[in-house]
Structure 1
Amino acid sequence: MITSLQRFIIHRYSGRILSKWIVLLHDMVLVAAAFGLAQLLRFNFKMEGIRNDHFVTQLSISCLVYLAAFFLFRSFSGIIRHTGLEDVKRILNAGLLSMTTLVGLTILVRTSSLTSGMTISLAVIIIHFLLTVVFLTGSRFLIKLFYHNAVKKRSAFKRVVIFGAGYSGMMAKNSMESDTASNYKVSAFLDDDPQKAGKFLHGIPVFLPEAGFRDFLHKFPDTELIIAIPNLTPARKSQIIEHCLNVGIKVKSVPPIGNWINGELSVQQIRNVSIEDLLNRAPIQLERSMAAKEIYSKVVMITGAAGSIGSEIVRQVMNLNPAKLILIDQAETPMHDLELEVAPLRRRFNTDVQFVICDITNLPKLTRLFEFYRPQIVYHAAAYKHVPMMERNPGEAVLTNVFGTKHMVDLAIVYEIEKFVFISTDKAVNPTNIMGATKRAAEIYVQNQSRYESSKTVFVTTRFGNVLGSNGSVIPLFMRQIEQGGPVTVTSKDVTRFFMTIPEACQLVLEAGAMASGGEIFLFDMGERVRIYDLAVKMIRLAGRVPDKDIFIEEIGLRPGEKLHEELLNAAEDNLPTHHPKIMVGRTREFESEWVHRCMERLRVAYADNNTIKLVLALKEMVPEFKSLNSDFQQLDREATMEVAATA
């Protein structure tokens, strides 16, 4: 029960911070008390040791030395209720310096003609140092303990089990128990190490996971599990999370030790597990040495800079010290948000960054930009990407994705850009929709222009699948639907997609761009396909809800142009390995330049005529494998099949 004294202290002082001068006064009183006790201990508690004529002189000298050391190391400037290892380190350093100084003074006095009254027993100096450190650190931790016990809520506690009985697990336990805003109670540790099973850590039992799940977590379903093993394999981590989600246990995880603040873990850093933790593969990590060498001191242009992929490329490129960044996007508000976000990076790296509002279909303005800034490397990420929207607006898809890319490629050749990196999609493989077909047409044009002997530009295409959390992707949609109480909508229970995180995708884009020699289409190893329905189920469980009970999952049917399974290569393509195991080079079909330019001209004429059917037919001619699915344009494929059959 909280005492009346505790209530008074909470009410009057919990919002105040004790003045550092009061802390200093507290420390000096303890230093003086420790000196007196040291004298008593040295002389076996005989008062003669304190009553000698030189005691006051020796006490004054000791206090002055310690006072100077406290000012030097600022040991009194910490907030006592939040005392940690850094505070202990400052006290220890101040004490060691004081002890060393006093020993030196004593030796100097003994070897000189100075008054013997300044000579302090070496034993007293050492005992004084030990007592001072114990008194100062002990008093701080006692005050901290008293404060935390006083302000800690006495309502029902949250039972927690920590997976990992090691250093990170102990730090997680300490941070939760010292947090005054929550009522966490660590009830058990789980660990895969059989040598730890059956033992106790700070009085808390350690179980093997199987026993812990069976005998503890299943009995207390309101328990939270915190994963505190930084090097846990992705497969094992995914297994633990899925097991907990299946039985309704909320899961959190401790960040890597390198992300802790000043070497200490805060309870606020313990986060809920994310959907990325369930990809069941190791995060892709690159050294970036090749990309760093490629980008250093170069003028880099990025189109679609305010989008999900473009903005992450901006962040990563800024860390590689380019001479200048030219960021292009047509979206004003996202561009403004990006400008505010990267402002600290601009100051940190002293990078010249230009934010340009421009549509890549605006050839005159693009020409002026190339003429003025003379970029050396271009990352072309600007595109329309939403399948159903582009199925209803094929003209805009062709204008931006095909002719916008053509403008960028042609200007790259004219202004002798060193490297041009085009960012494509797995929807360009055997496309069943307008968006995918336009990206494949752009791939063909980029690859064709790379074969010009007179061109000094290295052209490269990168192709990858869905990116977790990108604008308009399924993850933000599911999150909104879950927040609104459902239903969560999936087009089909059988739909699968490749997934990777935005930082992973952009790392691979930079690395592939650096290793390119010209004309390649780089593919990324994205692991196994993920069933979208399973993704929805896991996200509902991650939110602490029960699928088809708290939140229903509704199947709404495939959207226009959507297919069940995406691919990274079609049947006529193959791939070759590179030096990086996650990056491959696709051996794709090549087309005659004359044929490519003829197809581009037919697309241009069809767009100029504002003839949608003619435009889609021209797109199908340029991308022969383009077969519409769940779309009004399927009729064109049927008519073409009938014509072929009639002439056979």
Structure 2
Amino acid sequence: MSINRKFNKRIYGGDNLMGLSDLRYLPRWIILSIDILFITFSIYFSCYLIEKLSYGSNPVFPHGNMMVVMIIVISVMFMFLFRTYAGIIRHSTFIDLFKLFLATFSTTALVAVISFSYYLVKGERLIYMSVPFLVIFCTASFMLMFLLRLFVKEFFHFIRQIRRSTLRKRILVLGITEQSVAMARAVIDNPNLPYHVVGFLTQRHDSNRASLLGKPIYTKEKIEQNSKQDLILDGVLLLQELMSKEEMNYWVTLFLEKDLQVFKAPSLQKLKENDYEPTIKKLQIEDLLNRKPIKIENEEVRMRHFGKTILITGGAGSIGSEIVRQVALFNPELIVVLDQAETPLYEIEMEMRKTFPMLSFKFVLADISNRHRIEPLFRKYQFSMVYHAAAYKHVPLIEENPHEAILVNILGTKNLATLASRHKVNRFVMVSTDKAVKPTNVMGASKRTAELFVQALQKTGNNSTKFITTRFGNVLGSNGSVIPHFKKQIENGGPVTITHADITRYFMTIPEACDLVLQAGTMGKGGEIFVFDMGKPVKIVDLAERMIKLSGLEPHVDIKIIYTGLRPGEKLYEELLSDDAATMPTHHEKILISKDPTMGYQNIDSHCNKIVKAALRREKMEVVQILKDIVPEFKSNNSVYEVLDK
């Protein structure tokens, strides 16, 4: 937006209060005019000094004001040549200062050459006592123009600081490293950011009497011993990439106890690139739950996908769509994205065609339980890899509609896996869940049955496909997950609803989950169930309280927390390994192989056929009873199907 448009908007938009800091820069003609005035003043000032030194015996310019005009013209010429007027004064740098010096020195040198040449030709002086005059003129003009720029720069900085201190959030920058100082300087120099840096924060004790950028350095003890009101602070800005998860949790806990808002800074480059779109954001709960991500072996994964034809089922869902994005980075020949949800499938199609216009995609609207719809795809495309992420996953809905889970999670998986084996697909990677471990609900039991089927198919005599299963916990930000649900409740003023005070869950990010899927697809030999070391489980009530505090509100005061009771099929604690499962390490310390009990192919195939027939008849109790026969450890919890366990 131009200056005139911005001023007109302020004047005619009803706000007639226009601060000096709103002026982005002085017009170039004003700068040039002021510089010419300084040049003129320097000429007459130099004449005055020379005449005083020589007691007025001779005029400095024997030919009158002709030399004054000539010096001004030469000065303007070099100002245009070196563009000394073109920079934004309040952002002046050493380069601008150097250009100013070159213009002044060049003017002085050319005037000296002209004066000396005139003396040689005519035998007359153009300037009396020319050397002292030129030295004084050069020094005076350079200093005046330099001081102008210094004054304007400091003046704008002063006005901006006053405005920030009254209208903007007062924040500390965490850390005194070079990156922290550079970030603080970028915030200070950006007038569009609604933050005023009042100091730095460190754990060190040898810096409390020092200062950075003219700002004091606070110690951790000062934060601990004083209240938010005593410190006159609103929040703290931290650089997430400089801290471990443990350090971040420590500091954030301290800040939240002091009712300080926590902000996370982007990279320095992003902050500078987005001058008009501030990118500093409030810290989100995902930032605290996130761990150091798995580092996948990019070269090996790339070779597994480069130039290949890939099928991704459930490709419009949270996990499936991220797999699509990551696989596309490895330049496959074709990606076939399959899903039964029309609108999400259309959205991922628009995204992929825009992001990867040179890649070939095929977007298929289909139901994996319909074998006649799926089989032609395998015949036509001869897939090298299949990523199977299609599934029904919402526990309460599946508990009410168990037959639907059977048709998608079991029959759909059976269709895909059987076709993959028949058409000799190299690898089949299935996305499973920690709810398949000692399941207490239909969803988890249906996924465990799907695991048993693909493991059994792996061992059949004529199979050459490597069937690989990945099992992980809750995914941050996935459709229907707890964190987006809590965010909506907090935005609406509460209450936040939690099923039980003691409920805990494991969490991972969507990219992290998909890294695991890609890594497993590469390292698997066939028949494995890969599980991820997800660290410590998180108590959901602690999660909710932290989310409320990160929003700048007080739990149980501004936002109520209500316990609604466990939902059908829900359990307090999730597990990644069953009690009788052993684990084997892999070459990646965060990935293990679970050695769960398996079942013979004829047995599991017979069970699957039987349960599918019951599902087609919509016989809920019969469906769940067969599930319990297939998965003996399946014990219903808080569900109508508990009667079957008796």
Scaled to the shorter chain, the TM-score interval is: 0.7 to 0.9
Gaps spanning 5+ residues in structure 1: where?
1-6, 110-114, 639-648
- What does 1:266-285 align with in structure 2 at a 5 Å threshold? 268-279=278-289, 281-285=291-295
Deviation per CA, 1:432-489: give whole Å up to 9, x if none: 1100011111111111222235333222111000011111111111112222222211
Aligned residue for 1:580?
588
Residues 314, 26 of structure 1: alpha-carbon distance in 2 compared, 3 angstrom cutoff: farther
Aligned residue for 2:629?
621
Aligned mate of 1:356, from 364, 373, 383: 364
Q: What is the one-letter code of the residue matched to 1:375? A: F
Aligned residue for 2:56?
none
- Structure 1 residue 135, shift from structure 2 partner: 7.3
Aligned residue for 1:397?
405
RMSD: 4.4
- Structure 1 residue 371, shift from structure 2 partner: 2.9
Q: Is the 8 A contact 1:540 1:547 kept in 2?
A: yes
Aligned mate of 1:636, from 617, 624, 644: 644
Q: Distance in 1 between matches of 2:555 and 2:530?
A: 38
Aligned residue for 1:416?
424
Aligned residue for 1:240?
251
Q: Which piece of structure 1 moves more, 476-485 or 331-340?
A: 331-340
Aligned residue for 1:198?
209
Matched, 1:342 2:352: yes
Q: Distance in 1 between matches of 2:108 and 2:475?
A: 65
SS at match of 1:633: helix
Q: Is the 8 A contact 2:548 2:555 kept in 1?
A: yes
Q: Is the 8 A contact 2:104 2:138 kept in 1?
A: yes
Aligned residue for 2:308?
298
Q: What is the one-letter code of the residue matched to 1:533? A: V
Q: Is the 8 A contact 1:284 1:504 kept in 2?
A: yes
Q: Is the 8 A contact 1:420 1:459 kept in 2?
A: yes
Matched, 1:317 2:327: yes
Q: Distance in 2 between matches of 1:33 and 1:188?
A: 40
Aligned residue for 1:548?
556
Q: Distance in 2 between matches of 1:333 and 1:99?
A: 67
Q: Percent identity?
A: 35
Aligned residue for 2:127?
none
Residues 319, 183 of structure 1: alpha-carbon distance in 2 compared, 3 angstrom cutoff: closer
Residues 56, 368 of structure 1: alpha-carbon distance in 2 compared, 3 angstrom cutoff: farther
Q: What is the one-letter code of the residue matched to 1:486? A: G
Residues 306, 147 of structure 1: alpha-carbon distance in 2 compared, 3 angstrom cutoff: farther
Matched, 1:141 2:149: no
Deviation per CA, 1:547-584: give whole Å up to 9, x if none: 22222211111111111111111011111221222111
Deviation per CA, 1:209-252: give whole Å up to 9, x if none: 12232136473486312224641221121111122223322211
SS at match of 1:536: helix
User: Quick check: which has more Rg, 1 or 2?
Assistant: 2
Deviation per CA, 1:608-631: give whole Å up to 9, x if none: 333222222222222222121111
Q: Is the 8 A contact 2:440 2:570 kept in 1?
A: yes
Q: Distance in 2 between matches of 1:193 and 1:381?
A: 49
Aligned residue for 2:6?
none
Aligned mate of 2:610, from 583, 586, 602: 602
- What does 1:60-459 align with in structure 2 at a 5 Å threshold? 67=80, 76=86, 80=88, 88=93, 91=96, 134=146, 138=150, 141=153, 144-145=156-157, 148=160, 152=163, 155=166, 158-180=169-191, 184-215=195-226, 217=228, 219-220=230-231, 223-228=234-239, 230-257=241-268, 259-262=270-273, 268-279=278-289, 281-286=291-296, 288-347=298-357, 350-459=358-467
Deviation per CA, 1:466-518: give whole Å up to 9, x if none: 01111111111111222222221111111111101111111221122122222
Matched, 1:539 2:547: yes
- Structure 1 residue 54, shift from structure 2 partner: 9.4
SS at match of 1:575: strand
Q: Is the 8 A contact 2:472 2:513 kept in 1?
A: yes
Q: Is the 8 A contact 1:175 1:266 kept in 2?
A: no
Residues 494, 146 of structure 1: alpha-carbon distance in 2 compared, 3 angstrom cutoff: closer
Q: Is the 8 A contact 1:88 1:137 kept in 2?
A: no
Aligned mate of 2:526, from 506, 514, 518: 518
Q: Is the 8 A contact 1:307 1:471 kept in 2?
A: yes
Aligned residue for 1:644?
none
Q: Is the 8 A contact 1:221 1:248 kept in 2?
A: no
Residues 294, 142 of structure 1: alpha-carbon distance in 2 compared, 3 angstrom cutoff: same
Q: Is the 8 A contact 2:507 2:538 kept in 1?
A: yes
Residues 549, 39 of structure 1: alpha-carbon distance in 2 compared, 3 angstrom cutoff: same
Residues 229, 374 of structure 1: alpha-carbon distance in 2 compared, 3 angstrom cutoff: closer
- Structure 1 residue 24, shift from structure 2 partner: 5.2
Q: Is the 8 A contact 1:28 1:67 kept in 2?
A: no
- Structure 1 residue 293, shift from structure 2 partner: 2.8
Matched, 1:567 2:575: yes
Q: What is the one-letter code of the residue matched to 2:334? A: K
Aligned residue for 1:480?
488
Residues 285, 27 of structure 1: alpha-carbon distance in 2 compared, 3 angstrom cutoff: farther
Q: Which piece of structure 1 moves more, 291-300 or 594-603?
A: 291-300
Residues 32, 436 of structure 1: alpha-carbon distance in 2 compared, 3 angstrom cutoff: same
Q: Distance in 1 between matches of 2:71 and 2:523?
A: 72
Residues 88, 306 of structure 1: alpha-carbon distance in 2 compared, 3 angstrom cutoff: farther
Residues 217, 17 of structure 1: alpha-carbon distance in 2 compared, 3 angstrom cutoff: closer
- Structure 1 residue 530, shift from structure 2 partner: 0.6
- Structure 1 residue 154, shift from structure 2 partner: 8.1
- Structure 1 residue 355, shift from structure 2 partner: 2.3
Q: Distance in 1 between matches of 2:269 and 2:297?
A: 17
Deviation per CA, 1:518-555: give whole Å up to 9, x if none: 22111111110111111111112122222222222111
Q: Which piece of structure 1 moves more, 314-323 or 477-486?
A: 314-323
Q: Which piece of structure 1 moves more, 363-372 or 168-177?
A: 168-177
Q: Distance in 2 between matches of 1:218 and 1:32?
A: 51
SS at match of 2:331: coil
Gaps spanning 5+ residues in structure 2: where?
1-9, 52-59, 115-119, 122-130
- Structure 1 residue 68, shift from structure 2 partner: 5.9
- Structure 1 residue 145, shift from structure 2 partner: 3.9
Q: Is the 8 A contact 2:262 2:283 kept in 1?
A: yes
Deviation per CA, 1:17-47: give whole Å up to 9, x if none: 9999x95555666787898899999999769
Q: Is the 8 A contact 1:224 1:252 kept in 2?
A: yes
Aligned mate of 1:612, from 620, 630, 633: 620
| TM-score, with length taken from structure 1 | 0.81
- Structure 1 residue 383, shift from structure 2 partner: 0.5
Q: Is the 8 A contact 2:266 2:280 kept in 1?
A: yes
Q: Is the 8 A contact 2:240 2:248 kept in 1?
A: no
Q: Is the 8 A contact 1:547 1:553 kept in 2?
A: yes
